[in-house]
A and B are shown apart, each in its own frame.
Chain A
């Protein structure tokens, strides 16, 4: 089954990127039938509007699948997880990182963030798992950060270890989240923000558009 109509629908509704991944290897017992992960990404600063738009896109995907008689499980954007719902117990079962990598939209950078070749780590993610037999996109199975270690060098809390991700080592630690969080406690100016975000700003993949503009055509 071609994923093109679903992708077109989501892209025309405002999604920046849409990918379909083969999630088979990453599924736990309760959701074994949901073999495809639809990864939806939005290239916007993290603010309330982004979350609303992303949640809306997720609903669009759900409705598209439901109308065609398929089952689904939505893993909402990280900043839109309302507790107290029965379904929220299942959110831990699947991560946006797995959806993004298995659908070929990105890899896990040294910073622990999903890096996309065009948009770097500046994307917000939502995932819809489904039993619709959509043909999957080719996955990305290892890091494309190469020798670049800007985020490692610039991280003010020294939290980034600098190792390269590979799907073969799913439990490796790239970032010490304890160190990352500790910085937030020390600097009052981060109070309103989840973290300092330097690893997002410094990533050269996020700046390719700037560089491209600087280059002669």
Chain B
């Protein structure tokens, strides 16, 4: 077992490696984390994801540009590749499934792939519809998989209008489904105006939002189940 100090050092190395888009040092630090018995979950979320958060901040501050963002995501992936097979049942308190895709006409799905990766690591079952997904497909897939969460992403203003339509249709069919939208031109105000439950400007926020939303949803369901059939045992 690594000492607290050593653990801190390794987590910092993971974080720094992602920020500096240095795949080699991420690889090295991830291997060290495994060898020295650091909890892979912790290595992922307090190391890699923490670094990615900083990258997001640098991107917003226009210190980083698209190439840096992508190279950092690649470095994050290198770390995940090493750590993920060793992740034991993630203790996030919630589990869920999510339907994800970019809206019809939108081919900018890099953001979506990062969000997907994070859901995956957090133990969600991810149904990825890919890019250029026709509107109806989201609804179809949600019904088919009975997913708790539908995650829509668009990077261009022209496709944003399409998302409003999906949200309305999905909500009409199943008022309990949680919908999260994200992508560059989508703001919190727009998300609220359209009736989406979450807004995810970047991958790590998407994860937090998702966990919050699914946990809220489960609670809601449990409550409604308890109310409607107090005699039957809960699942």
Q: Using an 8 Å CB-CB cutoff, how does the interface string of B80-124 with A read, 1 for contact, 0 for none?
A: 000000000000000000000000000000100110000000000
Note all chain B residues with C-beta closer than 8 A to A86.
70-71, 73-74, 77, 110, 113-114
0/1 interface trace, chain A 86-99, chain B, CB 8 Å (1 if under): 11011000000000
Given the complex of chains A and B, what is the CA–CA distance between A34 and B68 in angstroms?
Answer: 12
Residue of A nearest to B114 (CB): A86
How far apart are the CA atoms of A185 and B44 in the complex, in Å?
A: 48
- Is B67 on the interface with A (CB-CB < 8 A)? yes
* Interchain CA distance A31-B70 in the complex, whole Å: 12
Chain A contacts for B20, CB-based, 8 A: 66
Chain A positions within 8 Å of B70 at CB level: 85-87, 89-90
Q: How far is the CB of A41 from chain B (nearest CB, A)?
A: 23
Q: Is A33 an interface residue (CB 8 A)?
A: yes
Q: Which of A34, A72, A73: most chain B Cβ within 10 A? A: A73
What's the nearest-Cβ distance from chain B to residue A78, in Å? Answer: 19
- Interface size on B (CB < 8 Å)? 13
Q: Is the CB of A31 within 8 A of B74?
A: no
Taken together as a complex, chains A and B put the C-alpha atoms of A66 and B24 apart, in Å, by: 15
Expressed in whole angstroms, the minimum distance between the Cβ of A167 and any Cβ of chain B is 25
Contact pattern, B 56-74, Cβ under 8 Å of A = 1, otherwise 0: 0000000001111011011
Q: Which A28-45 residues sit within 8 Å CB-CB of chain B?
A: 30-31, 33-34
What residue of chain B has the Cβ atom nearest to residue A84's Cβ?
B77
Shortest CB-to-CB span from B71 to chain A, Å, is 5
Residue from B65, B67, B113, B114 within 8 A of A87 (CB atoms) = B67
Query: Contacting B68 at CB < 8 Å: which of A71, A85, A89?
Result: A71
Closest CB in chain B relative to A6 CB, distance in Å: 19
Residues of A within 8 A of B (CB-CB), count: 13
Give the nearest-CB partner of A31 in chain B.
B67
Shortest CB-to-CB span from B139 to chain A, Å, is 29
Task: State which of A71, A72, A73, A85 has its C-beta within 8 Å of the C-beta of B74.
Answer: A85
Do the beta carbons of B110 and A89 come within 8 Å of each other? Answer: yes
Q: Which residue of B lies closest to A73 (CB)?
A: B67
- Least distance between A1 CB and chain B CB atoms (Å): 20
Chain B residue nearest to A87 (CB atoms) is B70
Partner of B65, one of A30, A66, A85: A30
Closest A residue to B69 by beta carbon equals A86
A1 to B174, CA, bound (A): 62
Question: In the complex, A19 Cα to B179 Cα: how many Å?
Answer: 51
Between B67, B68, B74, B113, the greatest number of chain A beta carbons within 10 A of the residue's beta carbon is seen for B67
In contact, A30 and B66 (Cβ under 8 angstroms): yes
A residues 10-58 touching B (CB-CB < 8 Å): 30-31, 33-34
Chain B residue at smallest Cβ distance from A63: B22
Instruction: Tell me, in angstroms, the Cα distance from A30 to B66 when the chains sit together.
Output: 6
Contact status B113-A33, CB under 8 Å = no
Most chain A CB within 10 A, of B65, B73, B74, is at: B65
Contacts of A71 in B (CB 8 A): 65, 67-68
Query: Which B residues fall within an 8 A CB radius of A?
Result: 20, 65-68, 70-71, 73-74, 77, 110, 113-114
Interface residues of A (CB under 8 A from B): 30-31, 33-34, 66, 71-73, 85-87, 89-90
* 3 closest cross-chain pairs (CB), A and B: A86-B70, A73-B67, A30-B66
Given contacts A66-B20, A86-B113, 9 further A-B contacts (CB under 8 A): A31-B65, A33-B65, A86-B70, A86-B74, A86-B77, A87-B67, A87-B74, A90-B66, A90-B67
List 19 interface pairs A-B (beta carbons < 8 Å), by A numbering.
A30-B65, A30-B66, A30-B67, A31-B67, A33-B65, A71-B67, A73-B67, A85-B70, A86-B70, A86-B73, A86-B77, A86-B110, A86-B114, A87-B67, A87-B70, A87-B71, A89-B70, A89-B110, A90-B67
